[in-house]
Amino acid sequence: MKLLILTQKIDINDDILGFFHCWVEEFAKNCESVIVICLQKGECHLPKNVKVFSLGKEKGRSNIKYLLNFYKYIWRERKNYDTVFVHMNSEYVVLGGLLWKLWRKKIGLWYAHGSTSFFLKIAEKIANIIFTSTPTGFRIKSRKLKIIGQGIDIKKFSPDFIKRDNSIFKIISVGRISPIKNLETLILSASVLKKKMNNLKVQIIGDIVLHSEKAYLLSLKTLVKKENIEKIVEFVGSVPNNKIVPLLQNSDLFVNCSMTGSLDKAILESMACGVITLSCNEAAKEVLLEINDNLFFDCKNPRSLADKIYFFYGLFEDKKDKLRQDSANLIVEKFSLARLIKSIFESYDFKIR
């Protein structure tokens, strides 16, 4: 297979999209060649059979220039790929789909998010295959839909069952800071617990992506101050995806309050590292309940989350260790990156080597 991949960003150091670097590496293992067209290119270390072309966002180019570069690359390279894989950005399917159909290129779209846009509805009509992680990750009825889970690099995200410092009970949350992530629930639960747990520490890792989210971040910091928990809650800022593993491994709990409606990859990365993981995201419910009934809490309910945190805080260490091991084992069994890429190739009717 000669594969064309279209994605937003290739940058091994990016805190949100850095994971996709590993996806490209895994694709490349099983393809004759891979061409990547991205909106923005940062640091990358990819195999020799991978070529990366940027539309130029890192150079501050205009939308018109992006569009011209897009058509230049898909035209110039048209004989060097036979299959197309679009990651999340349905606009690329709309822009290039008719040409790819004309050139008889099979088009696959990966989309895993609760929102449904005008472009997504059109892309569904054009694409040959739609990939998503869970039933809630793609909310348009389609016969083209393939629900194939998520893909975690289990060589990178793996447990390190070190002896923890019992003087601190550390909770970690990782991801973009946005209203849909519902981080006020985590902050308020910490306020509920401040008198019951004098060794509690909460680290919120991530940053805003859109300028409009700046007000939300400010509101969270104001809430922390209002609740008098500045010594408990820390806003760490962004951390590159390739440096997040030690922070996960040294945490007692991972908490995800997201309401995206799709299976948040950060949840699975945490579990892969052997961290006890709590969430209110409906898309994660089935996964978490395989491990323990107490890993799921009521959305926008700080008291519900506080009760769950306190339950695991008081759990015997041997039972915690079993939950950690069970979590890591589940990711290896059902959510490895190699398994995901294999499922994608099979959907294209291509058997990997």
Evaluate the CA torsion angle 251, 253, 256, 257 in order and state its sign: negative
What's the Cα-to-Cα distance from 212 to each of 40, 235, 237, rounded to whole Å?
Answer: 21, 18, 17
Whether residues 44 and 131 fall in one domain: yes
Asked whether residue 248 is domain-assigned, the answer is: yes
Report whether 296 contacts 280 (CB < 8 A).
yes
Whether residues 221 and 82 fall in one domain: no
Asked whether residue 294 is domain-assigned, the answer is: yes
Question: How many CA atoms within 13 Å lie on the side-chain side of 40?
Answer: 16
CA dist 110 and 138 (Å) reads 9
- Pairing of β 83-87 and β 106-110: parallel
Q: What is the domain range of residue 36?
A: 2-151+336-347
Asked whether residue 343 is domain-assigned, the answer is: yes
Asked whether residue 278 is domain-assigned, the answer is: yes
Whether residues 174 and 320 fall in one domain: yes
For 119-145, what is each residue's pLDDT tens digit? 999 999 999 999 999 888 899 999 999
Report whether 178 contacts 216 (CB < 8 A).
yes
pTM of the predicted structure, to 2 decimals: 0.91
Q: Please, is 56 exposed, middle or buried when counting C-beta atoms within 10 Å of its C-beta (0-12, 13-18, 19+)? A: middle
Residue with tokens 């491994």: 249
Q: How large is the angle between the packed helices 214-226 and 183-193, nearest 10 degrees? A: 10
Whether residues 7 and 136 fall in one domain: yes
What's the pLDDT at 36? Answer: 98
Whether residues 236 and 325 fall in one domain: yes
pLDDT at 164 over 80: no
Q: What's the mean pLDDT when you consider all of the chain?
A: 94
Q: How many CB atoms lie within 10 A of CB 199?
A: 12
Evaluate the CA torsion angle 213, 218, 224, 226 in order and state its sign: negative
Whether residues 131 and 229 fall in one domain: no
Whether residues 104 and 117 fall in one domain: yes
Number of domains the chain contains: 2
Whether residues 342 and 310 fall in one domain: no
Whether residues 118 and 215 fall in one domain: no
CATH number, domain with residue 252: 3.40.50.2000
Per-residue pLDDT, averaged over 4-22, amounts to: 95
What's the pLDDT at 119? Answer: 95
Asked whether residue 157 is domain-assigned, the answer is: no
Q: Cite the DSSP H helix spans in 111-257.
A: 118-126, 183-193, 214-226, 245-249
For 210-237, what is each residue's pLDDT tens digit? 889 999 999 999 999 999 999 999 999 9
Asked whether residue 11 is domain-assigned, the answer is: yes
Whether residues 40 and 113 fall in one domain: yes
Whether residues 293 and 277 fall in one domain: yes
Per-residue pLDDT, averaged over 31-40, amounts to: 97
What's the pLDDT at 353? Answer: 58
For 303-350, what is each residue's pLDDT tens digit? 999 999 999 999 999 999 999 999 999 999 999 999 999 999 999 988
pLDDT at 241 over 70: yes
Report whether 299 contacts 243 (CB < 8 A).
no
What's the pLDDT at 242? Answer: 82
At 163, the pLDDT band (50, 70, 90 cuts) reads low
Nearest CA among 100, 317, 289, 50 for reference residue 277: 289
Whether residues 173 and 113 fall in one domain: no
pLDDT at 162 over 90: no
Asked whether residue 217 is domain-assigned, the answer is: yes
Q: How large is the angle between the packed helices 337-347 and 20-29, nearest 10 degrees? A: 60
Per-residue pLDDT, averaged over 54-61, amounts to: 92
Asked whether residue 352 is domain-assigned, the answer is: no
For 77-133, what is each residue's pLDDT tens digit? 999 999 999 999 999 999 999 999 999 999 999 999 888 999 999 999 999 999 999
Report whether 139 contacts 111 (CB < 8 A).
no
Report whether 114 contacts 133 (CB < 8 A).
no
Nearest CA among 173, 111, 181 for reference residue 142: 111
